[in-house]
A and B are shown apart, each in its own frame.
Chain A
Amino acid sequence: MDLHTLSLARAAQMLDEKKISSTELTRAYLDRIKTHDRTLNSFITADADAALAQAAAADDQIASNNHTPFTGIPVALKDLLCTKGMRTTCGSKILDNFVPQYDATVVEKLRQSHSVIIGKTNMDEFAMGSSTENSAYFPTRNPWHVDSVPGGSSGGSAAAVAAQFCSAALGSDTGGSIRQPASHCGVVGLKPTYGRVSRYGLVSYASSLDQIGPITRTVEDAALMMNLIAGHDPKDSTSAPKPVPDFTSGLTAFDKTGLKGMTVGIPKEYLDMPGIDPDVRAVFDNVRTLMESLGAEIRSVSLPHTDYVVAAYYIIAPCEASSNLARFDGVKYGFRAQDTADLMDMYKQTKSTGFGPEVQRRIIIGTYALSAGYYDAYYGKASQVRALIMADFAKAFETCDILLSPVAPTPAFRIKEKIDDPLTMYLTDIFTLSANMAAVPGISVPAGFSAAGLPIGIQMMANRFDELSLIRAGYGVEKSMNLAPRFPDI
């Protein structure tokens, strides 16, 4: 049997039944990474010996029947989640030698259940980008088509799941960085509600927008991952003191009643958007029809401030970034420029050498927008527009359970196609930015292919803390479509 083809749920079941060992499963993934990641470049760091040691420890736990569904499951982590004793680069040269002295809360949860941390995945530097081309190390390639981008910024995690290098991965999503690469790589990506998952130990980019979430092969696997990572954490004051449901109950809800009683809103402003690829539109129309046939009521809704989302986001996110990234000054950790004239020169040379072009661009935009005389016109105005965007969503969710939309206007684009034109790259984020601005959850589920054979996902958004509706509807679409092929032939 090809162990790498097992979903997380199936692998957990076979581990529990002692039909396979974590060591066998981990070894199968490590062999695959060794053979294929030379081409795909989805990992920045993969430590085979450490992974096998964790697998052996997990096998001991299982032998003594002291295990959970995550024991022995190989998981990949986006390289901005702090891992004690394991290099965490954030895709940046400025953290090239950074070895965290503590685990992020989500990592601690994985370790407590004896999961196997198989490696740290590539990403756009500091999660700034939509293609993983902004990594200071190398671009990651799309496993379905190696000349295309995997999306970003969690492109390494999405590519690693699609290439079957791990059972599941964690990514982070500030403006679509889980959902868009999941769509481009044909896997499931869930951005939870802001506050649902602790951000302690996540290297910050834009703190009012960042959220950690799973990238998996199936919606069921995403629900399982959510069961592990969700919940209040005293170490993150923005994490929500809310009860956490069993997310797999969304699957049973669909199996029992389909999508009956569910109202699906179609934001009319989204479909009027210029530049939606015909293949993306066809996938969208297909899912709409499918959801209706599964019992959902479809209705048109309005999100009147859609046209301002990109502008408001690309002010707020860089403002927060310019403040968050001020800490990388060459004093306490990370890279420090040598042979500098004085302290100011050390700061400047450290940052200018350590940060790549996109990070510097966003720091400059943020610093400009926050500077005296411009604050009200930019950050102040953008924050007011954000309040209006939040109100649009609150109103839409008065009558809908789910909002349905494309994830990205086009399938994965070619490597180097957009990298020299930052504004055009920003505009491709139009469908995903709103969930972060409104602090609502969103999921991307594989829903079709382009004529060229590239995967296309569908996005669903739900009201705050209603991930269950996303899991129910996402699982319904996944199960009813029974898409093939599900994974690329690498």
Chain B
Amino acid sequence: MKISEQEVENIAHLARLKMDDEQRQALCGQLSDILGYMDKLAHVDVTGVAPASGAAFMHNVLREDVPQTSPGPRVTLANAPEKDQDYYLVPRVVK
């Protein structure tokens, strides 16, 4: 499995990561090694095997829908990098 720099760039965009040339080149080599190693899974016969989609309990968990007090904006926004009263602030979205 050989991963191109363009592929790394595309994946980085999907993951919202920005890479410089040096990082991208290093990742190309490392990803090719790592994904190359993963190719051994192709040798496993999984015909008819249902994927293990979780770890332990394969039943749904329900609870009563009981209203509770919310922690409120002071607590919720306590760690906000930028806020304006009761709102998170983000860079301009609409130009």
Please list the residues of chain A having a beta carbon within 8 angstroms of any beta carbon in chain B.
97-99, 101, 193-195, 208-209, 234, 237-238, 240, 305, 307-308, 310-312, 314-315, 322, 326, 329-336, 340-349, 351-352, 355, 357, 360-361, 363-365, 367-368, 371, 378, 380-388, 390, 422-423, 426, 439, 464
Contact = CB atoms under 8 A, between A and B. Distances in A.
Contacts, number: 156
Interface string B63-95: 100000001000110111110000010111101
Contacts of A390: 52
A311 B81 contact: no
A471 B68 CA distance: 40
Nearest to B92: A342
Interface string B14-34: 111111000100010011011
Contacts of A363: 15, 17
Contacts of A345: 91
A384 B34 contact: no
Interface in B12-65: 12, 14-19, 23, 27, 30-31, 33-35, 37-38, 40-42, 44, 46, 49-57, 61, 63
A349 B18 CA distance: 6
A336 B90 CA distance: 10
A326 B17 CA distance: 11
B51 A380 contact: yes
A388 B49 contact: yes
B61 A237 contact: yes
Contacts of B12: 364
Contacts of B40: 307-308, 311
Given A307-B40, A364-B11, A422-B34, A240 B46 contact: no
Nearest to B36: A423
A172 to B, nearest CB: 14
Given A101-B78, A343-B93, A364 B55 contact: no
A98 B34 CA distance: 33
Contacts of B49: 384, 387-388
B31 A364 contact: yes
B79 A422 contact: no
A331 B90 contact: yes
A308 B17 CA distance: 30
A329 B81 CA distance: 10
B88 A361 contact: no
25 contacts: A99-B78, A101-B71, A193-B56, A194-B55, A195-B55, A208-B55, A234-B63, A238-B55, A240-B57, A308-B44, A310-B37, A311-B38, A312-B41, A314-B37, A315-B38, A332-B80, A334-B79, A344-B16, A367-B14, A384-B44, A384-B50, A386-B51, A386-B52, A387-B49, A423-B34
